[in-house]
Structure 1
Amino acid sequence: MVQYNPKDWITFIFRFHKADTFRQLIPMMIFIGLYSAGICYMEMEYWQLSQESHVKNINVMHSLLGFVISLLLAYRTNTAYDRWWEGRRMWGSLVNNSRNLAIKLAVMLLDEHDRSFFKKAIPSYASILNKHLKNEETGLSLFEGLDLKIDHEKHRPNQVAKLLFQKINDLYKSGKISGDQLIVLNGEIQSFTEICGACERIKNTPIPYSYSAFIKKFIFFFVMTLPFGFVFTLGYYVIPVVVFIFYVLASLELIAEEIEDPFGNDENDLPTKKISENIKKHIEEIL
């Protein structure tokens, strides 16, 4: 995730980082520029269209559709940001629930061996969930000191959650915690699975294909028809104008594409690895 100072305007304007859409759009911007130059030459030099040509009135279509495309892009970016923010909320809840579980166990458990188990097992859930959402392999170093062998063919977070609940149930059977305490701890373990399910819902439910494809086609044909009308008022200056309009519209779509799946390794994705490391640090302090 990109770290920045929101008050530093100069850096925003003149700095190009990996996540900037300008670099991704350079090939298409060059193509749009050459295309616009060709339209200008054909209309002004080859066909020599006059100001009375009906082609000039094509701008009426852009005036009518400009409001529509702005609504579509606004809805697109808002929907993508909602997914990104919900993912952040889920990982914030995971941080708080992990702390709450550790605090309660620190008070309930007197045996150092039991406390040591949860000191390793609770942070393991966050680490496993991070790798699960990114489709990464799980290293054996995560489970040092734990009697846990992860089956990569099965749901990995569920295996850790099962181990946690099994240990808590064993504590109840051995009389180390009461029935009321078992109910309290059960709610914390259950919250882990609910957070995992919410994250999986975000990751596995993309924006409908027809909607995403329509916006891309709409932007493309909207921009490709711009030079026909604006050449009469701007002349060859229409080339940078059309390229800039394409850059703005296409950038909004690219940004929405990047943040709608917040659990990857893109520059603007959530720092889930760092969050899981912070969970580990906090749990070790508590237990």
Structure 2
Amino acid sequence: MRGSSYFKRPAEYYRRTQWTYPDTLRIRGSVIPSVLTDVVIITSFSATILAIEKFNWLERSLNVPNMIVPALSVVVGLILAFRTNTAYDRYWEGRKLWASLDVQIRNFSRMIWVGMKDTPHSATDGGVAGSRGSVRVYAHQLFGRNNSSSSMKSVAKNGALATTTTNASNSTVRGESVSHSTLIDLDSDIHHEDVHEKVLVIRLLLAFAVSVKHHLRQEFGIRYYDLEKLLPEGYEPCAATDHVDTKAQHDKALGDRQRLYNEESWNIHVGNEDGQMSLPLEIAHGLSLWVIAEARQSRIESALIGNLLGSINSMTDIFTNMERIVFTPIPLAYSIHLRQVVYLYCLALPFTFIAALGWLTVPLMCLVSFTLFGMEAIGREIENPFGKDANDLHMDEFCRDLKRELDYTVNLKNFVPGAHA
């Protein structure tokens, strides 16, 4: 069945095939590669200590009473439990935020598809040109910016619709028609002209989700396969990525905090070419401009305008909270201290087992170190749930499923009375 891959059991996100190894024997997706070096170090150290004791290389015994072990065990256990719980809270919050983003995009696309009035166009209208009713859609129609660039002039000469709103984003325009669509064929005769505009906006909703995924993974810009055909023709993003590798200097007055070189006065003014904005926020800004423009032309049901703007606000809020998770990691001092405590505990433990266990100390310490460092590695891996690790959120799958839903939405016929004015 063609769409069967849309429906997945929860286990399918972790088990890619029906026949697989039991979880006990699995290495892929586990923390074994991450902790292997630490386990080897602790095991080798334990073997060395035991060899020194057994062959009497020192004049005195290395055995230490085990009365200190219970106290250290409680401390290490509490620290590891807090670390893992905190990391999983961030993981679970990230999943809830992505689910909320899905809700807003689903609602927004549905409200547009059934709540926007279709109005007839002629071939001379600004948004429509050419035979077969194909639509010319320009970047400035959704990311409106009045400027004197040569590309904007060429659009004006061709009789394209002049922009009705202004935007401080650093977008440029090329007067080209939309020739491809990942959601629907824009040149099809069976669709009303306004359907193309709806599809363009719904495509931008998917672009918002995809751009959020890339932004959270520190993948800036638009040169990605899944963003290639989602943005309008002629769109160029804000040049915020030009300053990704900006150097920083240490500020003694602020301790470990840093500040950027070449600090200037914080003055906001129109025409500042240094203004920057991330791609998701730029898309949200364009969607807001579109909703307001359509509302002023009475092409959107008045009852839906507040809902549409509320969805955009919620999408921005969700994106900001995702940024909070990514750019506010566990404090470095806590991570360093936890790792130091686990190492000291594992290095001290063999001295208490020498007399009682003998050579069994070596495999026991291998087991203990694997357990403790494994818990620490799990917390370190899932504290940022938006990455590409095996245990991170499957954001590529989420975006792919969302794309399938929007594909289905734009192929549903609108039978709402009065939709075609």
Same fold (TM over 0.5): yes
Which one of the candidate residues 177, 200, 205 is aligned to 1:117? 200
Where does residue 211 of structure 2 map in the other structure?
128
Q: Is residue 2:106 matched to residue 1:22?
A: no
For the residues of structure 2 that align with 1:178 and 1:34, how far apart are their CA atoms?
72
Matched, 1:282 2:282: no
Percent identity, please: 28
Which of the numbers 69, 75, 86 marks the counterpart of 1:79? 86
Instruction: Give how far 1:255 is off.
Output: 0.7
TM-score (norm 2): 0.63
8 Å Cα contact 2:207-2:231 kept in structure 1: no
Q: Give how far 1:28 is off.
A: 2.7
Distance 2:372 2:328 in 1: 24
- Name the structure 2 match of 1:3: 14
Q: 1:138 aligned to 2:228?
A: no
Deviation at 1:118, TM superposition (A): 1.9
Q: Is 1:163 the counterpart of 2:286 in the alignment?
A: yes
Answer yes or no: is the 8 Å Cα contact 2:204–2:231 preserved in 1.
Answer: no
Relative to the length of structure 1, the TM-score reads 0.90
5 Å-filtered alignment, 1:10-89, equals 11-17=22-28, 19-46=29-56, 47=58, 55-57=63-65, 59-89=66-96
Kept in 2: contact 1:2–1:268 (CA 8 A):
no
Q: Specify the code of the residue in structure 2 equivalent to 1:92.
A: A
Aligned to 1:56, what secondary structure does the other structure show? coil
> Structure 1 residues 147 and 180, CA, compared in 2 at 3 Å: closer, same or farther?
farther
Unaligned runs of at least 5 residues, structure 1: none
1:56–1:228 CA contact under 8 A, matched in 2:
yes
Q: Report if the CA contact (8 A) 1:223-1:246 is conserved.
A: yes
Distance 1:147 1:117, change over 3 A: farther
- 1:97 lines up with 2:181 in the alignment: no
Question: What's the C-alpha RMSD, in Å, of the aligned pairs?
Answer: 2.2
| Residue 141 of structure 1, CA deviation | 1.4
Deviation, structure 1 residue 25: 2.5
Is the Cα–Cα contact under 8 Å of residues 35 and 370 in structure 2 kept in the other structure?
yes
Counterpart residue type for residue 40 of structure 1? L
Structure 1: which 4+ aligned runs deviate by more than 4 Å?
Answer: 144-147
Shift of 1:48: 6.9
**Distance (whole Å) between structure 1 residues aligned to residue 229 and residue 397 of structure 2:** 15
Contact 1:77 1:256 in 2 (8 A): yes
> Aligned in 2, Cα 1:181/1:21: closer, same or farther, shift over 3 Å?
closer
Higher helix share: 1
Letter in 1 for 2:282: Q
How many residue pairs get matched?
Answer: 280
Q: Which amino acid aligns with 1:263?
A: F
Query: Which residue of structure 1 aligns with residue 345 of structure 2?
Result: 222
Offset at residue 179 of structure 1 (A): 4.1
Map Cα deviations across residues 212-235 of structure 1 (whole Å, 9 max, x no partner): 111100000000011111101000
